[in-house]
Amino acid sequence: MNLADVPKEKLSPMMQQYAATKEKYSDCILFFRLGDFYEMFFEDAILVSRELELTLTGKECGLDERAPMCGVPYHSVDLYLKKLVDRGYKIAICEQMTDPALSKGLVERDVIRIVTPGTLIESSMLDDNANNYICSLYYGTDGSCALCFADLSTGEMSLAVPQGTTDLTVRIMDMLSRYTPAELVLNAQALSLKSVMDFVKVRLQCAVTLRDDACFSLDTGRELICQQFGVDSLELLGIEEDGAGACAVCGMLDYIRETQKRNIARFISIDVVDSAETMGLDLNARRNLELTETIRGKERKGSMLWLLDDARTAMGKRLLKTWMEQPLVQPLKIMARLDAVEAFIRRACPSWRCVRCWTMCTIWSV
């Protein structure tokens, strides 16, 4: 039984509330809070019961036939969300906005968050040793292009603007390989980049979300960017006022605001990436070198990162991974990094472990 096929006027008041909410978030699985459970109905219940191997039951809904239903406990919802997100689904969390014990009539409910592969923030659903990036890809009708990467769990945001039109698709795929995002948000024009789309589908295998052109528009987005980073002009961020980079950042912030239902205060700066500063490594090179995972089993154990990683904090582990995947090529920056490591070793902790860490930095700076 599909919700779209049932007469809404015959549904019970609570089920009409569910149907109205589901209509707004038709591309998501709707987790509808009822007491101590998140319930799913109709086609969502059938889908989730199959994916999570849950018991499919039924609920009186005002129709002659009971509505398919399944549910998960709210106190252990992260476990079920993780399984669905790993399969590429988007989940809309609909919470009770008023206390059922004090409410007269129907309890008020509303969606407070949309959970997607690229917008996870819970540590229980993430790998502390690696970033969970989401990418906003904007491709203009004039051939301009930009990619914005963000990690909601750490507050990191970067912007890359490939220059020129020669080998543009190659540079886009190189940036995607460098960050390996869990989710890709793009405008309709970007679908014309056939080789990039094939690369995303076959090699990256990340979730893809198509957004309206209005989400990348600078008419309202320019003010949104300035408010987010506390500046009066995009130029203060190193972003062209009317360039593709501004559109990509606008698309990112708009998507974050829509999924999180609020602005994310932890984004206080943006790093404009200079591709000339780091060595370009495509996905084949990264895999053949087994930098972060083995070719055969795609496991961390046995990779170069596993061998060299002696960091004691999650932040240090993520930094080392970034350094390995993006080796410096400019001598001045390499020497600056080595000088910093040398100062740390001499003044802070001249132990064997720090010497080993210094050796790793030396290797991956050249």
Closest CA to 52 of 87, 102, 14, 93: 87
User: What number is the average pLDDT over the span 147-152?
Assistant: 96
Phi-psi region of 99 (alpha: psi -120 to 50; beta: other; left: phi over 0): beta
Residue with tokens 């590429």: 88
The yes-or-no verdict on residue 361 having pLDDT over 60 is no
This prediction has a pTM of 0.83
CA distance 11 to 17: 9
Burial class (CB in 10 A: 0-12, 13-18, 19+), 189: middle
Number of Cβ within a 10 Å radius of residue 280: 16
How long, in residues, is the chain?
366
Q: How, if at all, do strands 183-186 and 207-210 pair?
A: parallel
Q: Is-contact 158 271, C-beta < 8 A?
A: yes
Decide: helix, strand or coil at residue 110. Answer: strand
366 pLDDT band, cuts 50/70/90, is: very low
Per-residue model confidence (pLDDT) at position 348: 63
Per-residue model confidence (pLDDT) at position 45: 95
Q: Is-contact 32 109, C-beta < 8 A?
A: yes
The yes-or-no verdict on residue 328 having pLDDT over 90 is no
Per-residue model confidence (pLDDT) at position 93: 97
Q: 346-351: which pairs have CB atoms within 8 A and are 24 or more residues apart? A: none
Q: What is the pLDDT of residues 344-357, one digit of tens each?
A: 788 765 554 555 55
The yes-or-no verdict on residue 364 having pLDDT over 70 is no
The mean-pLDDT minimum among 9-18, 38-47, 245-254 falls in 9-18
Per-residue model confidence (pLDDT) at position 69: 94
Q: Is-contact 28 91, C-beta < 8 A?
A: yes
Furthest CA-CA distance within the chain: 78
For 53-90, b where at least 16 C-beta lie within 10 A, e where not — what string?
Answer: eeeeeebebbeeeebbbbbbeeeebeebbbebbeeebb
Per-residue model confidence (pLDDT) at position 29: 97
What phi and psi, each to the nearest 5 degrees, are found at residue 217?
-75, 140
Helix (H) or strand (E) holding 57: strand 57-59
Percentages of the chain per state (helix, strand, coil), in multiples of 5: 45, 15, 35
Closest CA to 16 of 106, 122, 151: 106
Tokens read off for 127: 């790998």
H-type alpha helices, 268-313: 283-288, 304-308
The yes-or-no verdict on residue 292 having pLDDT over 80 is yes
